[in-house]
Amino acid sequence: MTTLALDTPVLARQYEDLSDKQYNHGKLLLGDLGLGRGQRVLDVGCGTGRLTEYAAGLVGEEGWVVGVDPLPLRVEIAKRRGAANLLFREGRSENLRDFPADSFDAVFLNSVFHWLPEKAGSLAEAYRVLKPGGRLGISTASRERPHALERIVQSVVERPPYAAHPVVSATTPYKVTSAELAALLERAGFRVRSLEIRSFVDHFDNPATVIDFSRSSSFGNFLGTLPAALRASAIEEIKSELAKLRGPEGIVLTRNLIFAVAEKLDPSPTTRSTT
């Protein structure tokens, strides 16, 4: 079970420093969304706001971008960003009540969807706040093609003594397949415009950086279902496995992400079924 209670100032700062991977694939997602000048955009699960700030550059002074995230320490870092068309506040995907219906041209969740235990409520909220014809962009880990790190971590936690403590998922806990994501989007009333898996090859200097990246990206949830002492020894075993992979280009790991863009149809399925 993921908790939002494990974030710390150190993890939040590390995320700001180590999140180039999310930032770079997030730029691709924003490219897919085709953000234009003057648009109103919502970044759901904005973290420390790096990609939100980039989106603000794309929409220009005539547009504006809001970032929401449930982690106060990350929102605090995000709020230090200076752009006049950029706003941050604490908030969660499943409750966007601060925002009126039909108010955004685009909503995006970059590396957030796999942290949401329940998807339908969040998609319903994204649908509600989007204008008719507005677009939702999602990048999320794919269940059908796990990251290389997932397989390494899984191989360790399946060993004794860790195996006695079930780990829901070695890395991101609530992954979907492409087919599941398409079905969820359609059920929420969206028309899927594009959906594909893209692979990214990451280079890490050493095993400790992989662990710092995983802990900060998971806001402290990495191996969180293991008791603390076991978690520490599992991390040492994972580091040993990662060290075996180290070559001239460092530790090379592949991530596979689903990228989806969907459009809000109007009227909503509820309206359609009652008229």
Ligand X SMILES: C[S@@+](CC[C@H](N)C(=O)[O-])C[C@H]1O[C@@H](n2cnc3c(N)ncnc32)[C@H](O)[C@@H]1O
Question: At its nearest, how many Å lie between ligand X and the CB of residue 240?
Answer: 26
Binding piece for ligand X, criterion CB under 6 A, among 106-114, 158-166, 182-190, 266-274:
106-114
Query: In a 3-state reduction of DSSP, which class is residue 14?
Result: helix
Binding status of residue 214 toward ligand X by CB under 6 A: no
Cβ proximity to ligand X: between 85 and 217 the closer is 217
228 class by beta-carbon count within 10 Å (0-12 exposed, 13-18 middle, 19+ buried): exposed
Cβ proximity to ligand X: between 88 and 219 the closer is 219
Question: At its nearest, how many Å lie between ligand X and the CB of residue 192?
Answer: 21
Strand order in the sheet with 86-90: 86-90, 64-69, 40-44, 104-110, 130-141, 251-264, 190-204
129: left (phi over 0), alpha (psi -120 to 50) or beta: alpha
d(CA 111, CA 44): 10
Question: At its nearest, how many Å lie between ligand X and the CB of residue 262?
Answer: 18
Binding status of residue 217 toward ligand X by CB under 6 A: yes
- Report the site for ligand X in 27-86 (rule: CB under 6 A): 44-47, 50-51, 69-71, 74
Here's the x/- map for ligand X, 164-203, by CB under 6 A: it reads as ----------------------------------------
# binding residues, ligand X (CB under 6 A):
23
Binding status of residue 93 toward ligand X by CB under 6 A: yes
Question: At its nearest, how many Å lie between ligand X and the CB of residue 255?
Answer: 12
Among 11, 14, 18, 19, contact with ligand X (rule: CB under 6 A): 19
Residue 174 DSSP symbol: S
Cβ proximity to ligand X: between 146 and 162 the closer is 146
Pull the structure tokens for residue 17: 């420093």
- In 27-122, DSSP assigns E strands to 40-44, 64-69, 86-90, 104-110
- Give the interface with ligand X as residue ranges (CB under 6 A): 19, 22, 26, 44-47, 50-51, 69-71, 74, 92-94, 110-112, 115-116, 217, 219
